[in-house]
Amino acid sequence: MQEDPQPLGQPPKAVRRSNEAGMTLIELLATLALASSLASIALPKYHAVTESARVAQAIGDLQAIQTTLDSRDSLPDNLAGVGQNIMDPWGSPYIYVKFPAGAPRVDRFGVQVNTTYDLFSVGPDGISAVSFNAGSSFDDVVRANDGGFLGLASKF
């Protein structure tokens, strides 16, 4: 018995099948595992970078509000007439407490951190406490030392 000759210009059947073969299920699963591993590394880093950018924006806003307040002859009763952005990057209003009207914020030793007014953001969790040492205040962006410190309460 004689085999049919291959038409001219066409490779043998075995070569054609290897050229047309797609990805196997194992190769597809390995590719998906690699992609998910890279995503699990990248997403927390992205979240950390966006949070640090929001903190930096809140510090800049507090500094601008502080400059406006300090340039006035007298302190206003609220931030409504200041003419600055009064919403923090997390969507909450900045908190302004003029003394002696409100309770002053204190550091971890119970010492008052400002003498004229408090100005701060409640941070991403939206809650705060009078003491910087309270767990709910760690993420607050605060003004302390009468404007000598602007940053996270956990770093003060």
**Domain locations in the chain?**
27-155
- Give the pLDDT of residue 18: 56
Map tokens 């390995």 to a residue: 30
Query: How many Å apart are CA 136 and CA 94, to the nearest integer?
Result: 16
Yes or no: say if 88 and 78 are a contact pair by the CB < 8 Å rule: no
- Give the pLDDT of residue 63: 93
- Give the pLDDT of residue 150: 93
- To the nearest whole number, what is the mean pLDDT of the chain? 85
| Order of strands across the sheet that contains 141-144 | 95-98, 117-121, 141-144, 149-152
- φ and ψ at 38, to 5 degrees? -65, -40
Per-residue pLDDT tens digits for 63-75: 999 999 888 888 8
- Give the pLDDT of residue 6: 60
Map tokens 């209003």 to a residue: 93
Q: Give the global pTM.
A: 0.73
For residue 50, the surrounding DSSP H or E stretch is helix 25-70
Checking if the pLDDT of 12 tops 70, the result is: no
Mean pLDDT, residues 11-32 taken together: 73
